[in-house]
A = this chain, B = another copy of it.
Amino acid sequence: MNYPGNIKKEYKKIVTHSNRGMGLEELINQSNLYYLEEDIAVIYKKPTPITIVDASFDSHGRVITKAYFKEPSTLDYNGIYKGKYIDFDAKETQNKTSFPLSNLHDHQYEHIKKVIAHGGISFLIISMNGIVYYLDGYDIIEFINNNDRKSIPYSYIQEKGYVIDKKIRPRLDYIKVIDKIYFKGD
């Protein structure tokens, strides 16, 4: 069967809207798959933590019939790049003037500090005002240490953050930013 209308629509969607409509998480997952396939880095999203209350068996095997979502103690993504431990999270906000720190749980913030203290690279990928930023853990810690504020102003993200290129492959080239900050000499 032919669906010329759909094909055209799909084509148009890919060409003119590129990454628009794809969620931030999906863009990162596709980027990680690219890095993995090209043998650049080994980075995965952690599964969502849940608490299983009830489970049984059906024709497909063991089936969970009741479970709740748990708040994660760590960040969503981790792995290895050029021998370095990488640990980050992706956050989106509709807020135009500041990034609400309620988006970053206390234990997630503690986790960022621990990872950096042990020699790893930790950061946030923040989607805001239509731009995707890399904000390094050092700059997040510095801001929180010196400010008694509940949100990071957009101006701080613009000043300290790095704009992540939106491309076809990888969708979001955040490794390029890591290279710029941590592997300048390479």
Contacts and interface: CB of A to CB of B under 8 A. Distances in A.
B61 A64 contact: no
A48 interface: yes
Nearest to A74: B44
Chain A, interface residues (CB within 8 Å), range:
35 or more
A117 to B, nearest CB: 8
A60 B79 CA distance: 33
A184 interface: no
Q: Report which residue of A62, A66, A118, A119 has the largest number of chain B beta carbons within 10 angstroms of its beta carbon.
A: A118
B64 A50 contact: yes
Count of this chain's copies in the oligomeric assembly: 2
Contacts of A30: none
A147 interface: no
Contacts of A80: 85, 87, 115, 118-120
Given A78-B79, A80-B87, 9 more contacts: A42-B115, A47-B49, A63-B66, A67-B67, A80-B115, A83-B118, A83-B120, A84-B119, A85-B85
Q: Which 8 residue pairs spanning A and B have beta carbons closest together?
A: A83-B119, A47-B49, A80-B85, A64-B67, A47-B47, A85-B85, A80-B120, A80-B118
